[in-house]
Structure 1
Amino acid sequence: MAFTAIAIYGYVDPRFKKSSFTFWVFTFLIAAMYFPFLFINWGFNTGILVIPMLQIIMFGMGTKLSLSDFKTELAKPKGIIAGSIMVFGIMPLLGVLVVKLFNFPPEIAVGFILIGCCPGGASSNVMVYLAKGNVALSVCVTTITTLITPIVTPLLMKIFANEMVEISFLKMMFSSFNLIIVPIVAGLICNRILYEKAAWLDKDRNILIIALFVTIAVFLIIPAAFPTSLTVLKPGLILGLALAAIVSFTKVIVKFFKGPKNWMDQILPSLSMLSLLLFVTIVVALIEINYWL
């Protein structure tokens, strides 16, 4: 109750405004831990919301980025190289250190070291985004470390755990693309639609054509049969295209009614925070349920 009270109070007291979301997270975390059944079934299995929530957050990041941001980071690769080395250097060593300190049994120790040998994922990008850090650098590091994971992770496991872990390169790569790259690319496209200083993007007719084209693409992809290895990309493509269509239609509607030009900046932070809150709450609730079963 105290966390909830502080979170609500943050809306009226500027001193607590920036901390309000943090207290909401604590409130829902505690609720998910003590009353997990409230969050796992809302007439459907809420577990299916986990990936879409992360994809929406990734999409929100994409709308804050442009291709020039990535060009800037790739032109100075030191940050990407340093980040990649830290991911596959510090994390595995910390995993080994924790295993040694707590003297875990072999089956738990191997799993713990495996976690340390895996790359940063969507959650690291989310933390950088919420901390107003360098999202482009974070995404670049995450993408590169994910792509080299099928080679590096088994090697690290052999060094630190004396075991090899079977990994499907294509499955892991396409899963990462579905979760991170596809929604971010959709966000980049929307960033251009919203903020690009081009004459053709100022014409409502052209934006409507884009929106209609993307909407048709969504309805064509839904029944389409994908190759087995590419099936994992289908949900991300559908969600990404649907969000691009919504943004395009909304831009025309807002312009017609002479609404604020920064409407996306007003909506996305709240949508991203809500998605993060739902994601964390549902995941914690599912973990608690599985723990007690």
Structure 2
Amino acid sequence: MSGFLRFSAFIQKTFALWVVLFAGIALIVPEAFVWLKSYITWMLGIIMFGMGMTMTLDDFKGVVHSPKAVLIGVIAQFVVMPGLAYALCQIFQLPAEIAIGVILVGCCPGGTASNVITYMAKGNTALSVACTSVSTILAPFLTPAIFYVLASQWIEINAFSMLTSILQVVLFPIFLGLIVRTLLKNKVDAYISVMPLVSVVAIVLIVAAIIGDSKAQIFQSGLLILGVVALHNALGYLLGFWAARWFKLPYADAKAVAIEVGMQNSGLGVALSAVHFSASPLTALPSAIFSLWHNISGPALATYWATKTDIDRTDQTH
């Protein structure tokens, strides 16, 4: 079992490499992955079920212990990223299909990868977990509402249908995972250790399916979308960090909030695009590229912050 755990840890640490590798393969042999598009919502449901199995009531204690920090993190999540998405769409005058996709990923809650990245960055991991948990639970209500307000100028949106989708692929699997963990307790520990690897495989396959399905559009608009996504992600980190510092949060908390804001649950964006905008493959592309990009930028930022923390501590000892 220890060998498997080491293998799982290796795959998680090299997550960005696998996403890039399989995205490249999907561009060369798209037919190998396109068929997976029909199973995207199921794969996301499995990821969320795994998240539910790893969650405990302790994850929500951060809300009680640091209500101010959690509130700032969650508000920043649902204000900064949607606001930035809308602003970028207006500044770059993006075509409707791309604009809808950019705003959709901007309205999604924080991604679970943010917890790992915060830990790597030597930030407040407990705060990151609390923010992810709260924003994910609020997502069925806030994501459709904010998306409706910002994107309805481009397309007619059925916010209630989107709410139902998020309940089905996010909230229901999480609560099911929580129930299984509560009822079976120690019996599920072995399965919990497998879930991070399952999540990595599912996200890699989701990205590959969208990349393969959108090969023609990538060669036509891929650089534009990558540029907008990279800017969206970087500004999310920056504004999330300064929002936290503005409200006098400690440095470790500010790092957690920055990463929480900058890293989105892009898999949800892909799933919602597949369900609600299937006639427009380009709409799912910003979410897929965001998934690819933030798994490169996140570890890079974490490495910088971890090094900076070590330098700061060294300086303080002299």
Same fold (TM over 0.5): yes
Q: Extract unaligned runs of 5+ from structure 1.
A: 1-9, 197-250, 252-260
Which of 169, 173, 176 is matched with 1:179 structurally? 169
Cα separation, 1, equivalents of 2:204 and 2:146: 32
Which of 88, 104, 112 is matched with 1:115 structurally? 104
Which of 39, 59, 65 is matched with 2:49 structurally? 59
Which of 167, 170, 179 is matched with 2:160 structurally? 170
Asked if 1:21 is matched to 2:11, the reply is no
Query: What is the aligned residue count?
Result: 206
Q: Which amino acid aligns with 1:178?
A: Q
**Which deviates the most, 26-35 or 60-69?**
60-69
Asked if 1:267 is matched to 2:257, the reply is no
Tell me the residue number matched to 2:88: 98
Q: Which amino acid aligns with 1:126?
A: T
Cα separation, 1, equivalents of 2:43 and 2:211: 14
The structural deviation recorded for 1:98 is 2.8
Which of 76, 80, 98 is matched with 1:86 structurally? 76
Percent of pairs identical after alignment? Answer: 25
Bigger helix fraction = 2
| CA offset digits 1:77-125 (Å, max 9, x no partner) | 43443234323432244234434553446x4685366437x5214xx43
| CA offset digits 1:134-177 (Å, max 9, x no partner) | 3342131133244034444444458xxxx386433432222111
Contact 1:55/1:180, CA 8 A, preserved across alignment: yes
The structural deviation recorded for 1:264 is 2.1
Which of 178, 189, 192 is matched with 2:182 structurally? 192
| TM-score with structure 2 setting the length | 0.53
Q: Which amino acid aligns with 1:21?
A: F
Asked if 1:32 is matched to 2:26, the reply is yes
Cα separation, 2, equivalents of 1:113 and 1:286: 18
Asked if 1:127 is matched to 2:113, the reply is yes
Tell me the residue number matched to 1:229: none
| CA offset digits 1:230-255 (Å, max 9, x no partner) | xxxxxxxxxxxxxxxxxxxxx4xxxx
Cα separation, 1, equivalents of 2:84 and 2:29: 32
Cα separation, 2, equivalents of 1:264 and 1:115: 32
Asked if 1:286 is matched to 2:213, the reply is yes
Asked if 1:277 is matched to 2:204, the reply is yes
| CA offset digits 1:170-222 (Å, max 9, x no partner) | 322221111111111111112213337xxxxxxxxxxxxxxxxxxxxxxxxxx
Contact 1:36/1:289, CA 8 A, preserved across alignment: no
Structure with the bigger RCO (C-alpha within 8 Å, sep 6+) is 2
Contact 2:141/2:163, CA 8 A, preserved across alignment: yes
Q: Extract unaligned runs of 5+ from structure 2.
A: 1-5, 120-124, 220-280, 282-318
The structural deviation recorded for 1:275 is 1.8
Contact 1:59/1:187, CA 8 A, preserved across alignment: yes
RMSD of equivalent CA atoms: 3.6
| TM-score with structure 1 setting the length | 0.57
